[in-house]
Copies of this chain bind each other. A is one copy, B any other.
Amino acid sequence: MQQKNKVLPIRVSLIRRKFSDYKVDSIIFFNMNNIRYFSGFTGSDGVLIINCGTAILLVDGRYSAQAALEVIDMQIIEYKDKIQGITQTIKDYNLKNIGFEADFLTVEMYNQLTKCLPNEVFVPLADELRLIRARKDETEIALMKKAAEISSAAILSLIAQIKPGCTEKELALQLELNARKSGADQLAFEAIVAAGANSALPHARPTDKKIKKGNLIVIDFGVKCKGYCSDETCTIAFGELTDKQKNAYQTVQNAHDRAIAIIKANISASAVDICARDALGEKYRRYFVHGTGHGIGLEVHEAPRLASNSKDILDAQMVVTVEPGLYFPGLWGIRIEDTVLVKENGCEKITKMDKDLVIIE
């Protein structure tokens, strides 16, 4: 509770300072991760209105008791109907120029709101709000380091637990168990344990397929600690690899290392992506079918975006992933991922596993 007292009002006051740039007297938030960021409320439904002098959290009956426990320094209003609750609050506070998350609010909700409030001006904010959570404060970094420590340890334990005949699903469950026993609140996303041909699917789901000698196994895993995510991927070999696989592994590792080596404040996110792609070289580049990385925090994928067409600029205290991969459909795939904290003159890896090739027998 003491931490909330210090940190959350700072976040609220930082967004208020932008009101004049955005030409608004208030911003209405619907994205539950943004609402959590400003208020501390962890429920799955609600609305937050921040105006110049007050912040008001609107929740339905399911969440009144929880909001009262979690939220301080904000007014809490219970609504029966969300649109009515928002309308009444906007009228009560006489708000006239209301910013909103244009990349979150649906067309339907927007139409309903503007119908109920025909004289108020709704100001779409999209790019303006993209990076509001991107630079992490000390509280957030500490939670993300804890999450990363738990998930790295869980993967490391799992590697010692792999036996021939285990299925992907069994390993995914064991991985989760390892993490939850070490204090993970929940998974950041469904664990990926993908062996053999499944490793060629970037977003594979664990199946009942048994691990066999000669398989590459992609393990992509993250947990949450008090809402904050970790994200790390390693690819291990079960038995000896072919020369082609070994060469591909070294190429991905090199791309991963080189991309991390150039990360620091004020570098463009696209430069990191291009660096990884260049390191893969002409021979492999076309098998790298996704962006190089993404911001991470309360969401496992959030701004900035590390891709060739990204316009984001990295800044100190951003936390981003670096995850080049190669995918040969029907055959096998490799991905190596770390999460790093951007600093003024470089970056700090917060995921803990060494990424040299591990061959288990």
A residues contacting B by CB (< 8 A) are 42-44, 60-66, 68-69, 80-81, 100, 102-111, 124, 126, 169, 173, 176-177, 180-181, 185-186, 190, 200-205, 289-290, 309, 327, 329-330
Given contacts A102-B106, A102-B108, A107-B124, 5 further A-B contacts (CB under 8 A): A43-B203, A63-B202, A108-B124, A176-B176, A186-B190
Which one of B61, B103, B203 contacts A289 once the chains associate, using CB atoms below 8 Å? B61
Which A-B residue pairs are the 7 nearest by beta carbons?
A61-B289, A103-B108, A102-B108, A65-B329, A62-B202, A102-B107, A108-B126
Contacting residue for A106 out of B44, B107, B176, CB 8 A: B107
Closest residue of B by beta carbon distance from A206: B185
Query: Of B103, B109, B200, B309, which is within 8 A of A103 by CB?
Result: B109
Q: CB-nearest residue of chain B relative to A289?
A: B61
Chain B nearest CB: distance from A64 CB in Å?
7
Q: How long is the Cα–Cα vector from A103 to B205 in the complex, in angstroms?
A: 28
- Per the bound structure, the CA–CA distance linking A60 and B329 in Å amounts to 15
Given contacts A43-B203, A309-B81, contact A327 B106 (CB under 8 A): no
Query: Once bound together, how far apart are the Cα atoms of A62 and B335, in whole Å?
Result: 12
CA distance A152 to B205 in the complex (A): 24
Whether the pair A203, B106 counts as a contact (CB closer than 8 A) is: no
Partner of A44, one of B64, B200, B203: B203
Q: Are B104 and A289 in contact (CB under 8 A)?
A: no
Q: A81-B309, A173-B180, A290-B62 are in contact. Are A124 and B103 (CB under 8 A)?
A: no
Q: Which of B65, B111, B180 contacts A327 (CB 8 A)?
A: B65
Residue of A63, A106, A309 with most chain B CB atoms under a 10 A cut-off = A106
Q: Which of A43, A107, A109 has the most CB of B within 10 A?
A: A107
Task: Say whether B108 contacts A107, CB under 8 Å.
Answer: no
A60's nearest neighbour on chain B, judged by CB, is B290
Listed residue (A69, A186, A329) with the most chain B CB atoms within 10 angstroms of its CB: A186
Determine the chain B residues whose CB is within 8 A of the CB of A330 once the complex forms: 65
Q: List 15 A-B contacts (CB under 8 A).
A: A44-B203, A61-B289, A63-B202, A63-B203, A64-B289, A65-B330, A66-B203, A66-B204, A69-B201, A103-B106, A103-B107, A103-B108, A103-B109, A173-B180, A185-B205
